[in-house]
Amino acid sequence: MSHIRAVSFDFGKTLADGTSSGTAGAAKYLKGLGRDVSDDGLGKGVAAAEVYLSEMREKHGLRYPKDERVWFHYCRHMVEEALGVDDGSEIAEEMWKTDFHETELLPDGLEAVESSNMQGYLVMIISNWEAPTLHDICERLGISKHVDLILPSRDAESAKPDSVIFEMALSKLKVRPDETVHIGDSFGCDVIGARSAGMTPIHLATEEETPSDFMGISVNNILDALGEVGRMTQR
């Protein structure tokens, strides 16, 4: 294995997570606008938005063009069905630019990024994030100053496990895949995707169990993942 020069992190459920579910967060946001929305109506709204997202996946696979504004239309479909209106564009235009999930750091999330930076690694965040909010959220949480690159799927026009988003991140920082470790909670998106790009994945098994036949590294704590990176560096 080559000397490790870079550490890449997933964002959602790896470094941070929403303190409100998508449904609860959307309800709070709409009620804050003075809109009367029922649980049943919001459930239908989320279902309609998921149907739209499935259609986009069928049409584009894992590579959504940025000008499709997928998250905007996701919010628009949700709003129209939840509120029973014909056109939810005006509300969605503001909603899709808002962190209505109320994202906050997970325990050890900031320490993991800060420690990676202090140890001299190039630090990346590679996230399936279609809202135009990730850079602002990272700034608010104090993550940005410790990170060399933040690459949401919206900017890459590619979503994990597609190898393109990983390859784009590597190219931007001029680092080879065999010099890079990627840490994430999703086996399907993070582990499979990173491997497809030639990176070394570490599965953060906090949300889902690691498959029993996986021959790589699996940990239950993000700081343990960094310990594994340190051991790779010393080889």
> If DSSP states are collapsed to H, E and C, what string results for 181-223?
EEEECCHHHHHHHHHHCCCEEEEECCCCCCCCCCCCEEECCHH
Query: In a 3-state reduction of DSSP, which class is residue 23?
Result: helix
Among 33-42, 79-88, 162-171, 196-205, the range scoring the smallest mean pLDDT is 33-42
**Structure confidence at residue 6 as a pLDDT band (50, 70, 90):** very high
Contacts of 75 (CB under 8 A, 6+ apart): 49, 88, 91, 92, 95, 96
Average pLDDT rounded to a whole number, residues 108-114: 98
pLDDT tens figures, 187-201: 999 999 999 999 999
Is residue 1 pLDDT above 60, yes or no? no
Per the prediction, the chain carries an average pLDDT of: 95
Confidence of residue 143 (pLDDT cuts 50, 70, 90): very high
- Burial profile 121-158: b = 16 or more Cβ within 10 angstroms, e = fewer: bbbbbbbbbbbbbbeebbeebebeebbbbbbbbbbbbb
Residue 93 bridge partners (DSSP): none
The rounded distance, in Å, linking the Cα atoms of 45 and 23 is: 9
Q: Where are the domains of the chain?
A: 6-18+103-234, 22-95
Of 19-33, 55-69, 112-126, which range is least confident? 19-33
Question: How confident is residue 2, by pLDDT bands cut at 50, 70 and 90?
Answer: low
pLDDT at 233: 84
Helices 109-118, 222-234: crossing angle, 10 deg rounding: 20
* DSSP 3-state of 180: strand
Helix, strand or coil, per DSSP, at residue 86 = coil
Provide the CATH number for the domain formed by 6-18+103-234 in this structure: 3.40.50.1000
Which of 10-14, 21-25, 113-117, 144-148 is predicted with the least confidence, judged by mean pLDDT? Answer: 21-25
Provide the 3-class DSSP secondary structure of residue 151. Answer: strand
pLDDT of residue 235 exceeding 80, the answer is: no
8-state DSSP, 168: H
